[in-house]
Amino acid sequence: MSVKLNDIVGRRSFNCDLLFRVIDFKEENGVVQAVLYGEDFRLIADAPIHDLMIMDVQEQNYRRKKEEALIEKSYLLFSQDYELLKMKREYEATDGYRHPGDYFQIPGRVLHLDGDPSYLRKCMDLYEKVGIPVHGVYCNEKEMPIKIGSLIESYRPDILVITGHDSYSRSKGKMADINAYRHSRHFVQTVREARKKIPNLDQLVIFAGACQSHFESLIQAGANFASSPSRVNIHALDPVYIVAKISFTPFMDRINVWEVLRNTLTGEKGLGGVETKGVLRTGLPYRQVHEEE
């Protein structure tokens, strides 16, 4: 069976550990290579056609159910954290529960740039489920540094997500060499351009990176959180869980990095960051205006 565009495949040489979409073909030294995007992980890879195995619908469904169970578990942990945060905010905002319901809250606004439209849709669904105000933009990784300035001016976000696909190639250089990565330098350039607009790490909180990205360069460029300290793959939804924690933490509170990472699907090997303030603001009073008034 020949491999076609948009087929879901696994790599025989990696025991089909991850599912990929075939998004393009290219020829290198007379060998046809497929360009692959991870289905659930933000990884881009090349593989010769003979190394690919097409995954049948039954296998895809089996993998998808496992994936959905993992996502649901992570969401449940986040929900528990969110309820604790909510109870704390209610207590502080209402003077020890004496004025329940009289306050309003403004969570942090998010601008999410994504190099994959499929991942962007998944993330937008989760943002909506969690209740975070967000504007999502599909943008090729190479174009992000050019477009980020005007996007920040247009949407004035509290939190910026810069993500898509990435990968490290040993054949292109050592792990410390940013040129050995598919898109890390584009993410770094985008972070730098964003910091030209808003230098303060607490006025604009930035998450940047994808699978195997050059973590140290992203942090040095001005990201608050980034991937990937151990150069491992990160899950497509990990940026949303990080953003959710920041968006719902009051701006007077500082976020412990471990508290941000513990409910992600990847953990500290794939994600890291620096101590950062939350962005949620609480106001009083909250009053609904009725038509008869």
Give pLDDT tens digits along the chain (293 positions).
689 999 999 999 999 988 999 999 998 888 889 999 888 888 888 899 999 999 999 988 888 888 788 778 777 777 777 677 666 666 665 555 555 556 778 899 999 999 999 889 989 998 998 889 999 999 999 999 999 999 999 999 999 999 999 999 998 999 999 999 999 999 999 999 999 999 999 999 999 999 999 999 999 999 999 999 999 988 888 888 889 889 988 888 888 888 778 778 888 899 999 999 999 987 777 666 555 55
CB neighbourhood size of 168 (10 A) = 20
- Residue reference for tokens 């060499």: 177
- Residue 137 parent element (H or E): strand 134-138
The three-class DSSP label of residue 274 is coil
Q: Pick from 131, 30, 4: which is nearest to 21 by CA?
A: 4
Joined tokens for residue 37: 């995007």
What is the reported pLDDT for 74?
A: 73
Predicted model pTM: 0.85
The three-class DSSP label of residue 60 is helix
Gap between the Cα atoms of 100 and 208, Å rounded: 38
* CATH code given to domain 69-283: 3.40.50.2300
What is the reported pLDDT for 144?
A: 98
Gap between the Cα atoms of 284 and 102, Å rounded: 6
What are the two backbone dihedrals, phi and then psi, of residue 170, each rounded to the nearest 5 degrees? -60, -30
Cis-peptide into 285, omega within 30 deg:
yes
Gap between the Cα atoms of 82 and 248, Å rounded: 7
Q: What is the dihedral of CA 28, 30, 31, 36, to 10 degrees?
A: 30
